[in-house]
Amino acid sequence: MRAIPVFLLTFCCVFINISPASAWGEKGHNATARVAQKHLTKCAERKITRLLDGHNMAYWSSWADGLRSYPEYDFIRTWHYANVEDGGDYASEPKLPTGDVYTAVEKCVEVLKSDNCDSVKSVYLKMLIHFVGDMHCPMHAGRASDRGGNGYTVTFRGRKTNLHSLWDSALLDGAHVWSAAEWAENIEPRMTRRQRKAMAAGTPMDWMEQTVDIADEIYDGTPQNEDLNWDYINKYSPLIEEQLLEGGLRLAKMLNELF
């Protein structure tokens, strides 16, 4: 395994918190982490809480976004997304040499399985919590030609925006005026253990390809020249809830296996 940079070790010891930028928006990441927290085993929760300095996962869920503003962390700038062109699939798409959200998740798992010190594992655990959320945000599997929807102009409820921003946060707030805690509480229906297991099934590669397919559907269903309003919100609200819930359940599954 590639050695951990010295500056990363130093940063682990002194870094407390960073205000987040975006990606699912802070609220979406927080809700995903809260769902995952509820489904940790007692053993996993105990070990994870120790690595997270006594905080829960929601506390750190958007932390990795802020790292991009630090020059020494420029190497994770591309770790939040994986661009796939129209009709393509992740497995056959040319890969960025700097990595993407799928390879970031794999890297975090690799470090957490290693014999690295707890201070290093703490950083990669905080990043894993975030990147699993990113992997389930549809526009983080958008097209390189429009920078994951950032160059795809749309109008939402009378205001100009872009497809990426719409799916990161505006659509969540348009669907429900909920806090992150309310999102986590309300998107998870009463389910049997078998149903939860089915939602969490698969591998990170499976989850990545699923998000690519969803992104394609969203591009096809999002016209650029008309005002997107309640019909659009009603159409896609169930998908948002499903992605947040699946992201949380899958993160919990991954962490329970790791710890």
pLDDT of 243-254, one tens digit each? 999 999 999 999
pLDDT in tens, 32-42: 999 999 999 99
Return the closest-CA partner of residue 146 out of 202, 218, 251: 218
Average pLDDT estimate for 213-220: 96
How many CA atoms lie within 13 Å of 16's alpha carbon, on the beta-carbon side? 0
Please report whether residue 8 resides in a domain. no
Please report whether residue 11 resides in a domain. no
Rg (CA), the chain: 18
For residues 73 and 150, the model is more confident at: 150
pLDDT at 12 over 70: no
Average pLDDT estimate for 151-173: 93
Identify whether the C-beta of residue 200 lies closer than 8 Å to the C-beta of residue 193: no
Which of 21-30, 131-140, 224-233 is most confident? 131-140
pLDDT at 79 over 80: yes
Structural domain count of the chain? 1
Please report whether residue 201 resides in a domain. yes
E strands in the chain? 153-156, 159-162, 227-228
Please report whether residue 180 resides in a domain. yes
pTM, to two decimals: 0.89
Percent with pLDDT over 90 in the chain: 78
Q: What is the pLDDT of residue 9?
A: 43
Assigned token pair, 240: 């948002």
Average pLDDT estimate for 231-237: 95
How large is the greatest C-alpha to C-alpha distance in the chain, in angstroms?
54
Q: Helix, strand, or coil here: 161?
A: strand
Identify whether the C-beta of residue 241 lies closer than 8 Å to the C-beta of residue 168: no
Phi then psi dihedrals of residue 155, to 5 deg: -115, 125
- Distance separating alpha carbons of residues 246 and 73, to the nearest angstrom: 29
Q: What is the pLDDT of residue 7?
A: 38
- Angstrom CA distances, 193 to 20, 133, 245, stand at 34, 22, 14
Give every strand in the sheet of 227-228, ordered side by side.
Answer: 159-162, 153-156, 227-228
pLDDT at 14 over 70: no
Domain assignment of residue 176, given as a range: 22-259
CA dihedral 186, 188, 190, 195 (to 10 degrees): 170
Would you report the helix, strand and coil content of the chain in percent, each value rounded to 5?
65, 5, 30
Please report whether residue 3 resides in a domain. no
CA-based angle 114:119:124, to the nearest 5? 60
Assigned token pair, 27: 């609220």
Please report whether residue 41 resides in a domain. yes
Tell me the CATH number at 51. 1.10.575.10
Please report whether residue 259 resides in a domain. yes
- Distance separating alpha carbons of residues 44 and 31, to the nearest angstrom: 19
- Distance separating alpha carbons of residues 202 and 215, to the nearest angstrom: 19
Please report whether residue 227 resides in a domain. yes
Average pLDDT estimate for 189-214: 94
